[in-house]
Amino acid sequence: MGSFPGLLPFPRHYVVSKIQLNESAPILDGRLNDPAWVAAPWTEDFVDIQGNSVAPAPYYRTRAKMRWDEKWLYVGAELQDEALWANQTSHDDVVFLDNDFEVFVDPSGSCRHYLELEANVINTTWWLTLTKPYADGG
């Protein structure tokens, strides 16, 4: 198991199950109660990437479920908070300045040439490809 200096050891892992021929794809309606979502286990509760020694455990719960088929990766998440806000309103605005949810897709596991998909609480999205992590000048 590797790590970046000052950050959590990685990888925490989650096995994403494929949608079988006898299953329907998840319904994308913001609810996670249809059969495709019910069949998927929850991830562990999210923690701050800096680890508990730097940042306390989050007060509110964030967790996710994922499924995939031949065409798509489906990600559903439950995020709890009392004071949600967002200011970014145009696609590809810098969404992480707001309350947002981010998905990093790194098929090679190299932390190089990966995709970031982000959405804030008013569904403004930012999609980007990074050749290296921000910490390395990405």
Mind listing the pLDDT tens digit for each residue in 47-79? 877 666 777 777 889 999 999 999 999 999 999
Kindly give, in sequence order, each residue whose CB lies less than 8 Å from that of residue 58, ignoring residues fewer than 6 positions away.
45, 46, 47, 48
Mind listing the pLDDT tens digit for each residue in 77-130? 999 999 999 999 999 999 999 999 999 888 888 878 889 999 999 999 999 998
Domain locations in the chain as residue ranges? 1-82, 83-138
Q: Nearest-CA neighbor of 126 among 97, 69, 73?
A: 97
Kindly give, in sequence order, each residue whose CB lies less than 8 Å from that of residue 99, ignoring residues fewer than 6 positions away.
81, 84, 85, 86, 120, 121
The CB-side HSE value for 64 (13 A sphere, CA atoms) comes to 17
58 prior amide bond cis, ω within 30: no
Q: Give me the pLDDT at residue 58, please.
A: 79
Confidence at 9, pLDDT banded by 50, 70, 90: low
Task: Please tell me the pTM assigned to this model.
Answer: 0.80
Residue for token pair 């109660």: 33
Whether the per-residue pLDDT at 37 is higher than 80: the answer is yes
Asked if residues 8 and 16 have their Cβ atoms less than 8 Å apart, the reply is: no
Q: Nearest-CA neighbor of 111 among 14, 44, 11?
A: 11
